[in-house]
């Protein structure tokens, strides 16, 4: 079974059954094809040993092990690969948050991802505490979350802040946001092959959009495979009739470039 199919099989399960450690680690398999995903999971198992509560988790990850945010090379692909974050002890908010969630889960600590615009967070439902894994696992209340939101997005006082900007997100949504971040890096680096990889993984998740499919086709075409891109669009138009019109229009545009 190839990686894309294995990923698709894992994320097709009910959300609560998605193995977030394994699926997050698999995102790195394109650039690190020899990656041992089981070893990544075992590393997180070891981190959880002896952790009893949120305070202990924060001490283990951010004091003892020294995990922190990557500021010097924020847009490097390695920041989106869980195994490289573990190795380097550096990452971006969402991968560090996944690490905290998954080590916490192994220690019996219930944590949830919070999809705040501009900066991903973690929350402990039982206490209501927000955790900023990028800034050393600091605890935040809603007022501090608002300050972080405004700093991250540049939103001024005219933009209202409410709990609606602190939504709990599913495991599939966490993976989608990880892939969106990585896709942005590949776009900036003009890496069409890397972008194709992230979009194929993205399309295995729920809530497929026409824009995702069109971007995949464009990434394929950018590698000199325009006819493959057209076939891709036509296949998606067949299985997603509600998206057929924009997909067929894009296919015609690609065909016109070939003539």
SS (H, E, C) 181-194: HHHHHHHHCCCHHH
Angle, alpha carbons 227-255-184 (nearest 5°): 70
Would you state the pLDDT for residue 160?
Answer: 95
Question: What are the CA-CA distances from residue 220 to residues 140, 186, 207, 228 (Å)?
Answer: 43, 13, 21, 7
Whether 125 contacts 212, CB under 8 Å? no
Would you state the pLDDT for residue 10?
Answer: 98
β 68-69/90-91 pair status? parallel
Cα 248 to Cα 254: distance, rounded to the nearest angstrom: 10
* pLDDT for 213 beyond 90: yes
- pTM, whole model, 2 decimals? 0.96
Categorize the per-residue pLDDT at 57 as very low, low, confident or very high, splitting at 50, 70 and 90. Answer: very high
* pLDDT for 28 beyond 70: yes
Q: What mean pLDDT comes out for the span 176-193?
A: 97
Categorize the per-residue pLDDT at 159 as very low, low, confident or very high, splitting at 50, 70 and 90. Answer: very high
Categorize the per-residue pLDDT at 207 as very low, low, confident or very high, splitting at 50, 70 and 90. Answer: confident
Report the mean per-residue pLDDT for the chain.
96
Query: How many beta carbons lie within 10 A of that of residue 192, not counting itself?
Result: 18
pLDDT in tens, 72-122: 999 999 999 999 999 999 999 999 999 999 999 999 999 999 999 999 999
Percentage of the chain surpassing pLDDT 90? Answer: 97
Q: What mean pLDDT comes out for the span 13-19?
A: 97
Q: In the chain, what are the domain boundaries?
A: 3-169, 208-258
* pLDDT for 1 beyond 80: no
Would you state the pLDDT for residue 11?
Answer: 98
Categorize the per-residue pLDDT at 171 as very low, low, confident or very high, splitting at 50, 70 and 90. Answer: very high
């Amino acid at each position: 079974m190839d990686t894309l199919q294995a990923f698709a099989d894992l994320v097709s399960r009910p959300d609560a059954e998605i193995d977030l450690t394994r699926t997050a680690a698999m995102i790195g398999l394109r650039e690190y094809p020899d990656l041992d995903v089981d070893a990544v999971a075992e590393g997180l198992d070891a981190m959880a040993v002896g952790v009893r509560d949120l305070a202990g988790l924060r001490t283990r990850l951010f004091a003892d092990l020294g995990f922190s945010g990557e500021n010097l090379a924020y847009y490097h692909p390695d920041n989106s690969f869980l195994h490289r974050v573990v190795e380097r002890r550096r990452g971006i908010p969402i991968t560090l948050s996944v690490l905290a969630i998954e080590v916490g889960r192994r220690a019996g600590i219930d944590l949830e991802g919070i999809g705040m615009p501009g900066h991903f967070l973690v929350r402990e439902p039982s206490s209501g505490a927000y955790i900023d894994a990028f800034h050393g696992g600091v605890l935040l209340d809603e007022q501090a979350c608002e300050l972080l939101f405004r700093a991250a997005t540049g939103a001024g006082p005219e933009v209202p802040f409410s709990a609606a900007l602190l939504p709990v997100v599913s495991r599939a949504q966490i993976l989608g946001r990880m892939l969106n971040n990585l896709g942005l890096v590949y776009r900036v680096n003009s890496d069409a092959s890397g972008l194709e990889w992230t979009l194929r993984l993205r399309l295995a998740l729920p809530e497929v959009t026409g824009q995702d499919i069109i971007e995949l086709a464009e990434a394929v075409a950018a590698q000199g495979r325009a006819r493959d891109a057209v076939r891709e669009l036509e296949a998606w138009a067949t299985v997603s009739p509600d998206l057929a019109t924009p997909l067929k229009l894009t296919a015609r545009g690609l065909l016109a470039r070939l003539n």
